[in-house]
Amino acid sequence: MRIGIIGAGIAGLSAAIGLDQRGHEVTVFERSFAPATTGAGLTLFGNSFEAFDFLGIGDEIRAISTDCMTSMTLGQRRPDGSWLTKAPAAAYTSMRTVHRRDLHERLTELLGSDRIRYGVDARVAADGSPSINTSGETVEVDLVIVADGIHSRNRARLGLDPGLHYSGYTAWRGVTHQPVDLQGCAGEALGRGQIFGCIPLPHDAVYWFATLTTPAGGRNEDEKAALLSLFQGWHSPVSECIEATRAEDILRHDIHDLARPLRRYTRGSTALMGDAAHAMTPNLAQGAGQGIEDAATLVLCLGEAEGTVEAALARYSQLRTRRANPIMRRSRTAGRLFQMGHPAFAAARNGLLKASPDRALLQVSKALHHWPQPR
Ligand SMILES: Cc1cc2nc3c(=O)[nH]c(=O)nc-3n(C[C@H](O)[C@H](O)[C@H](O)COP(=O)(O)OP(=O)(O)OC[C@H]3O[C@@H](n4cnc5c(N)ncnc54)[C@H](O)[C@@H]3O)c2cc1C
């Protein structure tokens, strides 16, 4: 089958690799002129690796990621460093971290960059029929995959766009360029309307993120200085992580998700995938993971369809809306809980976290961190 994929992000590349390996003729259209070289860290759980394994590249991705959390204490703390919850080890044994740049590079290598047409702004047909428009050219295919990210214009073109919803908070991310001693601990500290999290990456780097409840659109002239001031007095090594990061490597994004979950991820011969289908807040660290699951599920559905592409797409849409939409909703709820700014609500949140039994965390982890591979 001829398959056109719009977007060379994590979801589009993962799908392209799986489909290429199964003998399909795949072309990826990417608006940027070169592979992504920026980005911070990414946490991937067992569900991502189960899907990567299905796509035949699990070991390749394990090789560029780290699982060193197994030797650390992970959980949620107060800004002074005292623990609210320590996650039971079984809840995070499947967790690995990777630098996004390395993941993009590896996925691009595994596909072969000759399969990617860079610098192409690609458009779908509004009725979902199987063709892709680029400036001046219409490419006929048998199936179109739209993996063009949270701001997908193709989602709107297909009439499937519910709009975006601002979560109420902004996020900074960074990767240290000097070693920082995490003192055997990782996870996040929850303040009032502020969170700081840090986690090890391969090559002794640390990936950290920080959030602040604030109106959208704000910017500081010097984000690094602003962060150091915002998180002054928080436990060690919060300011050490910020200090050990080059100012130009600090990224800031206002956090949005889809205003409403989509009722279907397909129209005609076109399937939405990744953030284009279910952009979610990062609170459960599942955005990319769900995109990787999408890729594996579509490959599986196309492989098992006894006949039509339409049947495979219908199954894909049903399976993926059932799995990813509830995760999107839970992620938004978790964001609201974690970002609480009012002292009374923040105290209630802390009480709730402290009282959470291990078995509740394990149940959540079991459901989230395992790809329910369709049989
Ligand atoms: C602060 C933060 C932290 C996060 N942390 C995690 C985490 O720890 N774990 C996790 O699993 N997820 C995390 N996520 C979510 C994750 O980053 C995204 O879900 C994931 O990157 C989405 O991948 P994608 O391939 O769907 O889209 P993208 O990565 O956005 O890729 C879309 C691609 O499409 C291209 N494109 C757009 N329009 C066109 C067009 N018209 N024609 C051609 N190409 C086009 C773009 O240039 C881009 O390359 C986080 C998100 C944020 C904001």
Checking if the pLDDT of 305 tops 70, the result is no
| CA 190 from centroid of its chain's CA atoms | 21
Q: Is 275 inside a domain boundary? A: yes
Tell how far the Cα of 213 is from the centroid of ligand 1, in angstroms.
Answer: 22
51 lines ligand 1 (CB under 6 A): no
Radius of gyration over every alpha carbon of the chain, rounded to an integer in angstroms: 21
Q: Note the pLDDT tens digit of each residue in 206-222.
A: 999 999 999 999 999 99
Output the pLDDT for position 233.
Answer: 97
231: helix, strand or coil: coil
In a domain, 326, yes or no: yes
Sign of CA dihedral 87, 89, 90, 96: positive
Distance set, CA 339 to CA 38, 82, 170, 200, 261 (Å): 26, 18, 10, 23, 22
- Both tokens of 195, joined, read 């969170």
136 — alpha (psi -120 to 50), left (phi > 0) or beta? left
Task: Answer whether 32 contacts ligand 1 (Cβ < 6 A).
Answer: yes
Predicted TM-score (pTM) above 0.85? yes
Element (H, E) at 138: strand 137-140
122 lines ligand 1 (CB under 6 A): yes
Say yes or no to pLDDT of 37 above 80.
Answer: no
Distance CA 119, CA 28 (A): 11
Q: Long-range contacts: 350-357, Cβ < 8 Å, 24+?
A: 350/78, 350/84, 350/190, 353/76, 353/84, 353/85, 353/190, 354/84, 354/85, 356/85
Residue 111: what pLDDT?
97
Residue ID of nearest Cα to ligand 1 atom 17: 288
Cα of 8 vs centre of ligand 1, distance in Å, is: 9
Six token digits for residue 279: 């952009």
Q: Say how many Å lie between the CA of residue 45 and the centre of ligand 1.
A: 17
Nearest to 245 by CA among 282, 281, 210: 210
Q: In this structure, what token pair is assigned to residue 304?
A: 């098992």
> How does pLDDT run across 234-253, given as a tens digit for each residue?
999 999 999 999 999 999 99
* Residue 226 domain-assigned (yes or no): no
Report pLDDT for 210: 98
Q: What pLDDT score was predicted for residue 36?
A: 78
Percent of the chain with pLDDT over 70: 99
| 67 CA → ligand 1 middle, Å | 23
Residue 194 lies in a domain: no
Q: Which helix (H) or strand (E) holds 115?
A: none
Residue 54 tokens read as: 């299905």
Rounded to the nearest angstrom, the distance between the alpha carbon of 273 and the centre of ligand 1 is 11
**Would you state the pLDDT for residue 352?**
92
Does residue 284's CB lie within 6 angstroms of at least one atom of ligand 1?
no
Domain count for the chain: 1
CA of 359 to the centre of ligand 1 (A): 32
Q: What CATH number did the domain enclosing 83 receive? A: 3.50.50.60
CA angle 75, 78, 84 (to 5 degrees): 45
Nearest CA to ligand 1 atom 51: 282
The single-letter DSSP state of residue 66 is B
Specify the ligand 1 atom closest to the Cα of 41.
8
> 147: closest CA among 296, 56, 30?
30
Mean pLDDT (whole number) for 170-198: 96
Separation of CA 39 and ligand 1 centre (Å): 10
pLDDT digits (tens, 9 = 90+) for 259-270: 999 999 999 999
Beta strands at 194-200 and 73-77: parallel, antiparallel or unpaired:
unpaired
Backbone angles phi, psi at 322, to 5 degrees: -65, -35
pLDDT at 69: 74
Phi and psi torsions of 146, nearest 5°: -100, 110
Name the residue of 148, 255, 273 whose CB sits within 8 Å of the most ligand 1 atoms, as the mutation to test its pocket.
148
Render the burial of 110-126: b for 16+ CB within 10 Å, e for the rest. bbeeebbeeebebbbbe
* Inside any domain, residue 62: yes
Over range 310-316, report the average pLDDT: 95
Mean pLDDT, the chain, whole residue set: 95
Mean pLDDT value of segment 276-283: 98
Measure 296 CA to ligand 1 centroid, in angstroms.
17
In a domain, 340, yes or no: yes
Q: Does the pLDDT at position 227 exceed 80?
A: yes
Nearest ligand 1 atom to the CA of 12 is 25
Residues 287 and 294 sit within 8 Å (Cβ to Cβ):
no
Dump pLDDT digits (tens) for 340-352. 999 999 999 999 9
Q: Tell how far CA 71 is from the center of its chain.
A: 24
Q: Given this model, what pLDDT does residue 207 score?
A: 97
The C-alpha atoms of residue 352 and residue 159 are separated, in whole angstroms, by 41
- Cβ 10 under 6 angstroms from ligand 1: yes
Is-contact 180 244, C-beta < 8 A?
yes
Does 238 map to a domain? no
- The pLDDT tens digits for 84-134 are 999 998 888 899 999 999 999 999 999 999 999 999 999 999 999 999 999
**Ligand 1 lined by 253 (C-beta under 6 Å):** yes
Separation between Cα atoms, residue 201 and residue 66, nearest integer Å: 6
Residue 265: per-residue pLDDT: 98
Which range of residues forms the domain containing residue 21? 2-165+257-368
Closest residue by CA, ligand 1 atom 6? 285
The enclosing H or E element of 44 equals strand 41-44
* 9 Cβ closer than 6 Å to some ligand 1 atom: yes
Whether 279 is covered by a domain: the verdict is: yes
